[in-house]
Amino acid sequence: MKVLLIYPEFPDTFWSFKHALKFIRKKSSAPPLGLLTVGAMLPSTWEKQLIDLNVRPLTKKDLGWADMVFISGMTVQRDSAKRIISRCKGEGIPVVAGGPLFTMEYDKFTEVDHFVLNEAEITLPEFLNDLANGETRRIYSTDDYPDLRSTPPPLWTLLNKNQYDSMPLQFSRGCPFNCDFCNVTALLGHRPRIKSAEQILVELDGLYELGWRSSVFFVDDNFIGNRRYLKEELLPALTRWRRGKTGYSFHTEASINLADDNELIQLMVNAGFNKVFIGIETPDEISLQECNKGQNANRDLAKDVKHLQRSGLEVQGGFIVGFDADTESIFQRQIDFIQKSGIVTAMVGLLQAPPGTKLYERLKNENRLSGEMSGDNVDGSTNIIPLMGLEKLRDGYHYLMGQIYAPRQFYQRVKTFLKEYQPLKVKTPLTWQQLLAFFRSIYHLGIVNRERRYYWDLLFWTLRERPSLFPNAVAMAIYGYHFNKICELYIY
């Protein structure tokens, strides 16, 4: 059996970093971890190829080689997935689909031959067994959650690692919280399930053998769901693993209550973590209660962010406008919070209601749903009818984004962050890739760009005030270039 594992293309989005990746000559932020893991679950006698459309196109030769196609993706990849499926069916190739997009929307993909839904550790073996016996069903699904200690290491050998900026790993699935707009618990449950430290080290060893010497993203929706195991097993193991290995850094996603646990913060930093994405959502207490984000309520969120920054973790933040409790003042309040906290990478989106969430069911009962969600965090679209009124919400959102990613405000926010940031002092030599990115930034941001004065002001300020963070300043200037391009596409 010859199988293509196809990953659809991402549109030009906030998290695609397409405009920033050009500075380091990379095609994509990270490869598809789900398909690499599925590839490891397929019979070893099968021939497999990974086709990541974010890296290279799908050719007629690829399709002529394949006996079967496996496709996975997320909501934001919906349009690309539909085009791929139609093309495969036009060539008479059976299509097997799974992953978040198809688990939530399988009824919208009539051309797919087989759906392997939910978590593949349970449903994929059932499909493979039926395939071997010549009696396959169209839909394979389950309400059970697998033990991740049975999950094999991703099939890294399918990758062209040179096309990517970072590599993904997964330690846990599930989240103990119950935010009403989030579909993580609908897909993966509330109880965090974890891999063993030994499994994670095997996966890292695989990357090391592949020749990877750069950043690794733990894609957990809440990395700190099992703090005890992190403190006693995983983080000490990661610290030992990194000794003598240069180039590696880790980043992940976590809830804001990480700021309450200094021991855990220090262990993460010592293990090599330097960034964490946190869903802050809103500074409005009523809106936090409305969306059941109790872990963020009744605390000084800006103070928590500063504490994490001073401890050595850059905080990337997620924000939402469009809650029922939001008034027109929320847009300026979000701007003020983001600027004050120094969150350079601030993803702000309109509230959307994913199928399977409590928010979706509530708004459905209130007749306040309007079509399907795009899955894009910053395209200015929503599938809800906001109480504020859609026109006011969009106008306020455009104003907000135009403010926080205007050059003056963005570069000032970078300075605010660099004043606070206290990373672990480790001698890390500059890579050739970083040097090339710096020289390209001089041309694109320091010469060609109309806002070049802000770029030079930041670089000279950093050399004077925080010279050890000069590479960070350059990287953030490049990120700002990408974010501004996204705003030009969707907002301005």
For residue 153, is it within any domain? no
CA angle 115–118–122, rounded 5-degree value: 95
**Burial of 331: CB neighbours in 10 Å, binned 0-12, 13-18, 19+:** buried
- pLDDT digit string (tens) for 40-78? 999 999 999 999 999 999 999 999 999 999 999 999 999
pLDDT of amino acid 376 = 87
pLDDT of amino acid 492 = 65
| Closest of 272, 343, 260 to residue 304, by C-alpha | 260
As given in the structure block, the two tokens for residue 406 are 């205007």
For residue 159, is it within any domain? no
Nearest-angstrom CA–CA distance, 348 and 353:
15
At 426, is the pLDDT very low, low, confident or very high (cuts 50, 70, 90)? confident
91 within 8 A of 58, measured Cβ to Cβ = no
Query: Does 28 lie in the same domain as 90?
Result: yes
Query: Does 346 lie in the same domain as 466?
Result: no
For residue 26, is it within any domain? yes
Q: Tell me the CATH number at 359.
A: 3.20.20.70
Pairing between β-strand 215-218 and β-strand 249-254 as defined by DSSP bridges:
parallel
Mean pLDDT of the region 178-188:
92
For residue 157, is it within any domain? no
- pLDDT digit string (tens) for 290-324? 999 999 999 999 999 999 999 999 999 999 999 99
For residue 154, is it within any domain? no
pLDDT of amino acid 1 = 97
For residue 421, is it within any domain? no
Residues with Cβ within 8 Å of residue 183, at least 6 apart in sequence: 100, 104, 354, 355, 356, 357
Give the distance, in angstroms, between the CA of residue 200 and the centroid of all CA atoms in the same chain.
19
Residues with Cβ within 8 Å of residue 92, at least 6 apart in sequence: none
For residue 413, is it within any domain? no
Q: How many residues does the chain have?
A: 492
**Burial of 399: CB neighbours in 10 Å, binned 0-12, 13-18, 19+:** middle
71 within 8 A of 84, measured Cβ to Cβ = yes
Q: Tell me the CATH number at 21.
A: 3.40.50.280
Nearest-angstrom CA–CA distance, 257 and 176:
12
| Closest of 375, 310, 316, 388 to residue 74, by C-alpha | 375
Query: Does 181 lie in the same domain as 131?
Result: no
pLDDT of amino acid 489 = 86
At 377, is the pLDDT very low, low, confident or very high (cuts 50, 70, 90)? confident
| Closest of 48, 7, 47, 11 to residue 30, by C-alpha | 7
At 406, is the pLDDT very low, low, confident or very high (cuts 50, 70, 90)? very high
Percent of the chain at pLDDT > 70 equals 100
Residues with Cβ within 8 Å of residue 308, at least 6 apart in sequence: 258, 259, 265, 276, 278, 315
Count of structural domains, the chain: 3
179 within 8 A of 360, measured Cβ to Cβ = no
Mean pLDDT of the region 334-347:
98
Query: Does 114 lie in the same domain as 13?
Result: yes
pLDDT reading at 2 higher than 80: yes
pLDDT of amino acid 83 = 98
Rounded to 5 degrees, φ, ψ at 305 are: -60, -45
Mean pLDDT of the region 82-89:
98
Look up residue 229 and give its amino acid.
Y
Domain with 70 in it: 2-140
List 172's β-bridge partners, or say none: 194
175 within 8 A of 185, measured Cβ to Cβ = yes
Element (H, E) at 475: helix 470-490
- DSSP structure class, residue 384: B
Pairing between β-strand 172-173 and β-strand 193-194 as defined by DSSP bridges:
antiparallel
Query: Rounded to two decimals, what is the model's pTM?
Result: 0.96
pLDDT of amino acid 490 = 81
pLDDT reading at 200 higher than 70: yes
What b/e sequence results for 172-194 when a residue is b if at least 16 CB atoms lie within 10 Å of its CB, and e otherwise?
Answer: bbbbebbbebbbbbbbbbeebbb
Q: How far apart are the two ends of the chain, measured CA to CA in Å? A: 49
Percent of the chain at pLDDT > 90 equals 93
Q: What is the three-state SS of 405-424? A: CCHHHHHHHHHHHHHHCCCC
C-alpha distances in angstroms, 38 versus 32, 72, 136, 237? 10, 10, 18, 26
Query: Does 439 lie in the same domain as 321?
Result: no
Query: Does 306 lie in the same domain as 206?
Result: yes
For residue 119, is it within any domain? yes
- DSSP structure class, residue 175: -
Residues with Cβ within 8 Å of residue 488, at least 6 apart in sequence: none
At 403, is the pLDDT very low, low, confident or very high (cuts 50, 70, 90)? very high
Query: Does 175 lie in the same domain as 26?
Result: no
Nearest-angstrom CA–CA distance, 249 and 206:
16
Query: Does 276 lie in the same domain as 135?
Result: no
Query: Does 131 lie in the same domain as 264?
Result: no
Select from 360, 387, 404 the last residue of a domain.
404
pLDDT reading at 491 higher than 80: no
| Closest of 194, 184, 202 to residue 226, by C-alpha | 194
Select from 356, 388, 404 the last residue of a domain.
404
Nearest-angstrom CA–CA distance, 235 and 232:
7
Nearest-angstrom CA–CA distance, 92 and 299:
57
pLDDT of amino acid 431 = 83
pLDDT reading at 175 higher than 90: yes
Query: Does 261 lie in the same domain as 195?
Result: yes
Mean pLDDT of the region 459-480:
97
Query: Does 198 lie in the same domain as 81?
Result: no
Query: Does 72 lie in the same domain as 172?
Result: no
List 194's β-bridge partners, or say none: 172
Strand order in the sheet with 95-98: 47-52, 2-7, 68-72, 95-98, 114-116, 139-140
